[in-house]
Amino acid sequence: MAQEPDRNLALELVRVTEAAALAAGRWMGRGDREAADRAAVEAMRLMLRSIDMDGVVVIGEGEKDEAPMLYNGERIGNGRPPQVDVAVDPIDGTRLLALGRPGALAVIALSERGTMFSPGRIVYMSKLAVGPEAREAIDLDAPVAENLRRIARAKGKDIDDLTVVILDRDRHADLIREVRAAGARIKLIPDGDVSAALMTAFPDSGIDVLMGIGGSPEGVIAAAALKCLGGEIQARLWPRNEEERRFAAEMGYDLRRILTADDLVRGDNIFFAATGITDGEILRGVRYTGAGARTHSLVMRSRSGTIRFVEAHHRWDKLMRISGYPYDRGAGEAPR
C-alpha cells in the first residue's frame, strides 16, 4: 500500500451510513424498494465524496439485486490516501424497509487495498457464523447437530438453550428439520443476514449462530464486522447454475473450499459502520422529529478492538446547508 490507514476511518464512515439511513428511512413501509434503494445510494455516494480515501468498491450490493448501485469497481472517496477496498450495502434488508419490518441497516466496511475477497457473479454462499465464545468451535463440513453441540459446549449452554437464525427460504427446509431434531430453537428471518450475523456476537440479541445459504456480498460484509467483534464466519461458495460454476472455474475458485473470515477479509485493519433504518435487536431505527432526526449507529475497528454506539441528533437546517441533500423531503415526494 502507498499508505496504510492509520486513523479510525470508521468514525468518518458513520456519517455515510447515517446519511443513507436518513434518506432511506423516509420510505419505510411504503412498498417501494427501488425508491428506498435509490435514496440510500444517492445520499451515501454524496457523503463518500468528502472522505479522505482512495476507495474501490469490491462488494457492491446493486449488481445482485439489479438495484441502483454503488457498483463493483467504482472509485469512491476524494482520491487521497489511504488506498482501501470497500464493501457497501446501502440497505441491508430492502424488503424489510419497504414493508416496515424490523432489522434494516445501512452498512459499509473498509479494509486495506487488495484484502477483500470478491465473489464476482457467484451470488450465494453457505454460511455458519458465531460470536467470540464459539469462534473455535465451528466446522462448516460437520453435521448440523455436531456444530450445535460444539457451540453449546463453548458457550456453556445446553443445545436447547441455543437460538439459530436462518433466512426463511424453501432451500432451508432440510436445515430447519435438522436444527429442530437437534433440539435448538430457530428464529426465521425474511431478509437481512448482515444484521443476523452481527447478532451472534451480541449476547443481548438472544442469537447464538447464523446458519444457511445467503448472499455472498453480505458474507464478506459480515466477515468484516465479525473480525471487529472477535467472532467467526465460515462460508462456501454456492453457485446456482452451470453459468456460475463456469465462472468459478475461470476465476480459479475451489467450490469445496471453506472460506474463513480471514479469507473473506484479510489483515487486521478493518473499519465497519452501520446505522439502523428500522428498529432491530442491536440498533434502533431512524426517528424523525420534524426539525431533524435521530440515528443510532455501530462503529468498529478491528485493529483497536473498539466498539462504539453512536446516537446522533441531526438538524435539517444545518445538515442540508452543508450537504445539499433534501433530507427533510416529505413522504409524498420521490427523490430525483
Determine whether the annotation assigns residue 183 to a binding site. no
CATH code reported for the domain at 9-114+270-320: 3.30.540.10
Domain boundary assignment for the chain? 9-114+270-320, 124-264
Q: Which residue has the higher pLDDT, 74 or 150?
A: 150
Tell me whether residue 92 is annotated as binding.
yes
**What integer pLDDT is reported at residue 262 of this predicted model?**
97
Residues 154-170: pLDDT tens digits?
A: 999 999 999 999 999 99
Task: Give the pLDDT score at 6.
Answer: 67
Please indicate if the annotation marks 37 as binding a ligand: yes
124 in a labelled binding site = yes
- Residue spans of beta strands (DSSP E) within 6-123: 54-60, 75-76, 83-92, 105-112
Average pLDDT over residues 53-82: 79
Annotated ligand binding at 193? The verdict is: yes
Percent of the chain with pLDDT over 70: 93
Query: 124-264 domain in CATH 3.40.190.90?
Result: yes
Question: What average pLDDT score do residues 133-146 get?
Answer: 97
Domains 9-114+270-320 and 124-264 share a fold: no
DSSP single-letter state for residue 116 = B
What average pLDDT does this structure show over 13-23?
96
**Quick one: pLDDT band at residue 74, thresholds 50, 70, 90?**
confident
171 is in an annotated binding site: yes
Does 61 appear as a known binding residue?
A: yes
pLDDT for 61 equals 60
- pLDDT band for 204, please (50, 70, 90 cuts): very high
Give per-residue pLDDT as tens, 181-191.
999 999 999 99
For 141-150, how does the pLDDT look when each residue is reduced to its tens digit (9 = 90+)? 999 999 999 9
Q: Tell me the average pLDDT across 263-288.
A: 96
Burial of 109 (0-12, 13-18, 19+ CB in 10 A): buried
pLDDT value, residue 335: 40
Residue 120 assigned to a binding site: no
Contacts of 274 (CB under 8 A, 6+ apart): 17, 92, 105, 106, 107, 108, 194, 198, 225, 283, 297, 298
Spacing of C-alpha 90 from chain mean position: 9
Task: Tell if the pTM clears 0.85, that is, is over it.
Answer: yes
Identity of residue 141: D
- The annotation status of 170 as a binding-site residue, yes or no, is yes
Please tell me whether 191 is known to bind a ligand: yes
30 is in an annotated binding site: no
